[in-house]
């Protein structure tokens, strides 16, 4: 079913009509949430530029603002609302186009109450630029399009591209609202994905991250699977580095780990655990027991050197007892994740978990979250210490956000590393260089490295 709403409110109609003569729009793009939202935003950026419009990083300069919203948690909903209100406050004359999960779950109310001019539902979002051009009467000027070989990611200081390979999910975890917002699974063709990755590489991108709602479900509607797709990408592109987004632990195809024998497939995986208690996992309708998860981790580390695993943990799922919580802490200690994404449970309307009995008190959830954060930080620091004295090929992504005189990047197994750059050599940005790992950063969140003397 199409979900498309245009809201040319009377108070704004005059500015709509007076701007129709504009041939080129300055467009500001914002996103919240997952890597899939990032991938969609990057696709919209390319589509707008192909029609001759300009992407601006400055909200105040924009004549159109496009927001990709999120609804995975109550906090994500709050941030989505805040972002839309902020656009209306800081740039009231811009056209506001909204898509994403928050906007799609309650479209009419969200759009009308937050000053949205055009809402594009998740099922239509692959055609957002075309729809916005039609509904808001934008004029395409392809002769002014960004030149081939230019890339808006590099222009904005980003070297990793998120590539959408599929959408939707066939499973219904009891806590998840994304299934309601995204709908059924739909996979892109192998040819389209490979073509996009080759174009990105030609434009100077060094790393592509495959993204989707249910990445492991790729090909369920095409008679294929994720393993076949990755093998095809490695065979038919020269992208130096390929990563996978989050993959559910029960979805890994046969002979999956053998794919990592190709050094261009980075040895890191985000495997969502959610809980270390089998009882909680059953209430969540998850399809993996803690023992199966542990065996999967053991196999990955046995077959792939330096393999790093990160995960999601939901704290305070309805009915979570002290004993069930201790089981989660125990499994975290055993697995030794490289990074934890910690989510305080919040009921999402329309999900089965929202109606479950025995909610965990908020103060208990906060205490458990702090406890898990402390454990996760300690383990992460210990993991990082294990790599001191090693050398890794690092994609240098630009200046460090907080440390002057330093560059920043990620090792193949996705460890954040800051690199001393006393000479201010900007030619190193967007190159892959061997970096010596010297120490753990003061924050304990990453490594500090240095270039070998020969290339300083």
CATH number at residue 35: 3.40.50.2300
pLDDT, tens digit, 9 for 90 and up, residues 68-103? 999 888 888 899 999 999 999 999 999 999 999 988
Specify whether 115 is located in the same domain as 133.
yes
Over residues 369-383, mean pLDDT: 97
Q: How far apart are CA 344 and CA 359, in angstroms?
A: 12
Specify whether 133 is located in the same domain as 29.
yes
Specify whether 80 is located in the same domain as 172.
no
Specify whether 348 is located in the same domain as 331.
yes
CATH number at residue 427: 2.40.50
What is the pLDDT, as a whole number, of residue 157? 58
Express as a percent the part of the chain with pLDDT over 70. 87
Specify whether 182 is located in the same domain as 105.
no
| Domain coverage including residue 125 | 4-144
Specify whether 395 is located in the same domain as 380.
no
Kindly state whether residue 258 falls inside one of the protein's structural domains: no
Over residues 301-320, mean pLDDT: 97
Kindly state whether residue 260 falls inside one of the protein's structural domains: no
In 179-293, beta strands by DSSP E:
186-187, 207-211, 241-244, 268-270
- What are the start-end ranges of the H helices in 244-289? 278-284
CB 228 within 8 A of CB 205: no
- The 3-state DSSP class for residue 241 equals strand
**Residue 124 — φ and ψ, nearest 5°?**
-110, -5
pLDDT, tens digit, 9 for 90 and up, residues 181-208? 888 899 999 999 999 999 999 999 999 9
Exposed, middle or buried, 80 (CB in 10 Å: 0-12/13-18/19+)? buried
- The 3-state DSSP class for residue 236 equals helix
What is the pLDDT, as a whole number, of residue 275? 98
Of 170, 348, 337, 304, residue with least CA distance to 248: 170
What is the pLDDT, as a whole number, of residue 141? 54
Q: What is the 3-state composition of the chain as percent helix, strand, coil, each rounded to the nearest 5?
A: 40, 20, 40
Specify whether 121 is located in the same domain as 202.
no
Overall size of the chain counted in residues: 456
Q: How far apart are CA 243 and CA 160, in angstroms?
A: 10
* 399 alpha carbon, distance to own chain's centre: 21
Q: Among the three residues 199, 217, 250, which one is the final residue of a domain in this structure?
A: 250
pTM, rounded to two decimals: 0.86
Specify whether 54 is located in the same domain as 130.
yes
Question: What residues pair up with 341 in beta bridges, in sequence order?
Answer: 312
């Amino acid at each position: 079913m199409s979900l498309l709403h245009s809201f040319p409110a009377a108070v704004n109609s005059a500015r709509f009509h007076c701007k129709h003569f504009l041939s080129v729009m300055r467009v500001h793009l914002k996103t919240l949430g997952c890597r899939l939202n990032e991938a969609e935003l990057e696709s919209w950026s390319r589509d707008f530029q192909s029609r001759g419009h300009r992407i601006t990083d400055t909200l105040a300069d924009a004549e159109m603002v496009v927001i990709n919203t999120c609804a995975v948690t109550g906090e994500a909903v709050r941030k989505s609302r805040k972002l839309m209100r902020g656009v209306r406050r800081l740039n009231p004359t811009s056209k506001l186009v909204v898509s994403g999960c928050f906007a799609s779950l309650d479209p009419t109310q969200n759009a009308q109450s937050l000053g949205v001019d055009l809402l594009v539902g998740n099922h239509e979002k692959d055609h957002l630029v075309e729809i916005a051009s039609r509904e808001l009467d934008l004029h395409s000027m392809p002769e002014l399009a960004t030149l081939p070989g230019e890339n808006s990611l590099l222009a904005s200081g980003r070297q990793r591209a998120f590539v959408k390979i599929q959408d939707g999910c066939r499973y219904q975890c009891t806590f998840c609202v994304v299934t309601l917002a995204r709908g059924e699974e739909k996979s892109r063709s192998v040819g389209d994905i490979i073509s996009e990755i080759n174009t990105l590489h030609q434009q100077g991108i060094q790393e592509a991250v495959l993204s989707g709602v249910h990445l492991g479900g790729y090909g369920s509607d095409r008679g294929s699977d994720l393993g076949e797709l990755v093998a095809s990408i490695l065979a038919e592109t020269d992208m130096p580095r390929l990563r996978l987004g989050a993959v559910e632990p029960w979805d890994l195809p046969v002979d999956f780990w053998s794919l990592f024998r190709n050094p261009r497939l980075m040895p890191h995986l985000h495997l969502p655990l959610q809980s270390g208690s089998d009882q909680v996992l059953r209430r969540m309708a998850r399809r993996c027991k803690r023992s199966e998860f542990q065996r999967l981790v053991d196999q990955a580390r046995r077959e792939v050197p330096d393999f790093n695993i990160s995960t999601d943990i939901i704290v305070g799922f309805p009915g979570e007892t002290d004993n069930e919580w201790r089981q989660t802490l125990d499994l975290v200690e055993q697995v030794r994740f490289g990074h934890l994404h910690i989510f305080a449970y919040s009921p999402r309307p329309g999900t089965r978990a929202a109606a479950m009995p025995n909610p965990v008190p908020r103060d208990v959830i906060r205490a458990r979250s702090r406890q898990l954060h402390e454990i996760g930080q300690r383990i992460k620091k210990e993991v990082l210490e294990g790599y001191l004295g090693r050398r890794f090929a690092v994609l240098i992504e630009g200046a460090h956000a907080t440390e002057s005189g330093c560059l920043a990047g990620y090792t193949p197994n996705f460890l954040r590393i800051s690199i001393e750059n006393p000479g201010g050599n900007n030619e190193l940005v967007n190159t892959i260089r061997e970096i010596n790992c010297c120490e753990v950063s003061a924050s304990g969140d990453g490594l500090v490295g240095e270039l070998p003397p020969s290339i300083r």
